[in-house]
Every structure is written in C-alpha cells, then in structure tokens.
Amino acid sequence: MTDVAHRPSRQPRLRPAGPPVALITGASSGIGAATAARLATAGWRLLLSGTDRTRLDDVAGRTGGRPLPEDLAKPDGPQRLAEAALAAGGRVDALIAGAGLGWRGAYAETPTDTLDKMLEVNLAAPLRLTRLLLPGMLERGRGRIVLLGSMAGQVGVRDEAAYAATKAGLAMFAESLWYELRGTGVGVRLVLPGAVDTPFFARRGMDYQRQRPRPVTAERVADTVFATLTTPQDRLFVPHWLGFPARIHGAAPGVFRRMASRFG
C-alpha cells in the first residue's frame, strides 16, 4: 500500500525547513521512551508527553526532546497537548500515540474509574489528537499517524476485556482512517505488539503470567515504530509471527478459540 497521491496539478508544496517533528505520547517510560531514543538518533525533533514529570524530564534530557507533561485521561488533555505541541514545534509531522493503560481481572470487577481512564487514554485521546493534528498534515501534504495497538485488540484476551476493546476500537479507527487518507500524502500506521517487557504490567496490578508469547523488548517495538515512518505497510506485528495467529482468528475464529483454550 502506498500514500503516493494522484492529485490535480497545483503549486508544489514546499518541504518544511529543519528536521521533522514528532509528538510521542506515553514518552516517560516503556515503548514511548524507547521510541524517543530511536528517533533522536535519526535527527528528529521530539515533543514528549507523559504524566510522570521526573521520568519525562529524564527522557527529554537523554534525547534532546521537549517535555510536554499532560494527563490524557482528562477529556481536555488532548486539546491542551495539541496546542502545546504546535506552539513548541510549529508543526507536528508524526503523531506517535503510545500512551496506554491496562487492567487485568474479571470484567464485572473492573473499577469504574479504571474503565473510564482506559477509554480516555487508550481510545479517545488518540482519536482527539489525530483530529487536532491531522488538518495541518493534510495542508502540508505529508505526515504520519502511528497508533500503538495490541494483539489483545486483534484476538481478544481472557480477563482483559476492557483493554482489548479499547485496542480493537483503535484498530478499526486506523483501518477506516487509512481509506480516508489514501492519496493525501498522510499515512496511518498501526503497530501491534504482543507482550512487551515494560512497566505496563506492574502498573495494571498484575505481572505477565503467560508462558507464550514471551515478552519482547521495548527497543524492538521502537524499531518497528521507526520503520512505520518510511514503510508502506500499514499494519505491523511485533514480533512478525503474531500476524499468523491473527489471520487464523480472522479466518477461523472457532479454531483459534480452541487453540487459545488449550495453549493460552
């Protein structure tokens, strides 16, 4: 797939001066921090958002990024962050929506405030940020929307119904937006990791307990995120082999459920 546009002949759009600008959410740790480090080595200007100011400042100091602390669990958080990012960077060439929250346990026992925060941070915030930053990308005729999904949103996971639902919604948003943006020069990419060795599991209140798949490093996911900035692929699994069970689930969900019950 390609984002090359077949547009009517118009006055050529000038490439913005200076290095490209990326806004990374969830940048204070885990995949977001690793992605900041990866983009810094490639010369990107970084706008880094997170809720832990101490860790965010540390990441900013190591990568040369600009810290923009913001709580995306608040409905007006994305608006404030988008305004701060545009003021600090002048533009945003790539939105990397990496902030995410999880919770594991029976859905009937999910704390209401936890459910609300997952809906806001995992799903509503990426949609709101995209809505706020996309017009500028379309005007310039270039840009990337990179969404951090999850295998849980592709196949479902026991005791993670709410988290999986938010990530499934993000996947359908990416799919629908891809059709809409085709031919504009702006690309949308969905990164689909399995388990990742980050503080995510400790923060959700329960360590990773499955035997497979084994967690990958945050740096491995960051390499894939970086690849989305140049690759024409719109959906990337980490590790790559996770695309196989996702295809089985799509083609034969009954078979997949039997396999998951036995091996999951």
Q: Among all residues, which ones are annotated catalytic?
A: 163
Residues near 56 by Cβ (< 8 Å), separated by ≥ 6? Answer: 27, 28, 48, 49, 50, 67, 69
Contact by Cβ (8 Å): 70, 79: no
C-beta separation of 210 from 264 below 8 A: yes
In order, the DSSP letters of 3-48 are --------SPPPPPSSS-EEEEESTTSHHHHHHHHHHHHTT-EEEE
Cα–Cα distance, 89 to 244 (Å, whole number):
40
